[in-house]
Amino acid sequence: MNVIGAWKKGYTGKGVVVSIIDDGIEYTHPELVANYDPKASYDFNSNDGDPMPRYNTGPHWNTYNTEDSNWYDNKHGTRCAGEVAAVGNNSHCTVGVAHEASIGGIRMLDGEITDMTESRSLRHARDHIDIYSVSWGPEDDGLALDGPGKLTKEALKEGAAVGRDGKGSIIVWASGNGGAKDDNCNCDGYTNSIFTIAVGSANSAGHRPWYLESCASTLVSTYSSGDRKLDKPIITSDLSSGCTDRHTGTSASAPFVAGFIALALQANPNLTWRDVQHLLVKTSSLSKLTGEDFMTNGAGYQYSHDFGFGIINGGALVELAETWPTISTQHICQEKVKREYPESRFNETNAMTLEVTTTACQDSRKAIKFI
């Protein structure tokens, strides 16, 4: 993923704050303690400022990473934190993508999970935290059609408007691990939100892993685990000052992207939430991946419902970020449509064309929303 290309340019995430919204982080871990940021942390399960995970609590049922049957001790958040900000040259286990970034933990999965809990987590310290990394969501059972509640929807929208002193909170979300049950991340209202960056996975050979969900909302991908016997998993920090070589799924991909975005924000602190999405699209690539649904969109970019716009490229990302001009704010056009739907038809590939004449947006490059 060319993280070395970014490091060679001097970017390490220094000055950027990332928080893991999960089951807590072991901030005393030798790879995390030097980068730990208490201002970016909170425990919404116990309502205090200490995000240390509980130990020996049994299987953790609410995370995306369902392929790991040994899901104990609330270790998920610590593993994700190590990918982002494990300190460099520590000779212990791993090095984070943004190994000088400040890392925090928002503990909220180890208890009753409500709309209020999710909303408060996404609102926490939004003028201090630059990037939120989230690797959980609805059940991966191929049946659930679920998403954020009213309060959480408002938190996502407000974060884009007022987070980071008006530049917008960057919220990275794992696309889900329900591929084996034909789950579809379009049915996940968290990853399908315009205010989040949905992240998928490729295995070490560049193929679609068995757990991957395919959908239009996936923006970008990273390498992650695949078949247990054939593909390499992710090595990262673990509980009890430990190290694991079993971190897996799209749960591992979202923190990688959070770390890469931290490098980009160090290169250009003025990037807005929309700038970051544009940069990811322009610098990611499908060239080293294999798939059956690669297409080219109207803007000339190759994309896939498996991998989005492809594998992230750290060196290219920071290089483009350095001179990136801030784009315009989000623009939405609305047009009322009669109850009888306009003429529609399916073409030979079973894609539907819907033709509507509207004067709502004179500039065709801007989005039109039909209501």
Active site residues: 22, 76, 251
The β-bridge relationship of strands 332-335 and 131-134 is unpaired
Cα 141 versus chain centre, distance: 20
- DSSP per-residue string spanning 208-229: --TTPPP-TTEEEEEE----TT
d(CA 310, CA 330): 24
The residues with which 67 forms a beta bridge, in sequence order, are: none
d(CA 94, CA 19): 19
The residue with tokens 């970034």 is: 101
> Residue 340 class from Cβ within 10 Å (0-12 exposed, 13-18 middle, 19+ buried)?
exposed
d(CA 245, CA 241): 14
Tell me the residue ranges of DSSP E strands in the chain.
17-22, 42-43, 102-107, 131-134, 170-174, 197-202, 218-223, 234-238, 242-247, 295-296, 302-303, 332-335, 344-346, 352-354, 367-370
State residue 218 phi and psi, 5-degree precision: -65, 125
The β-bridge relationship of strands 367-370 and 332-335 is parallel
The residues with which 223 forms a beta bridge, in sequence order, are: 202
Helical ranges in 124-222 per DSSP H: 150-162
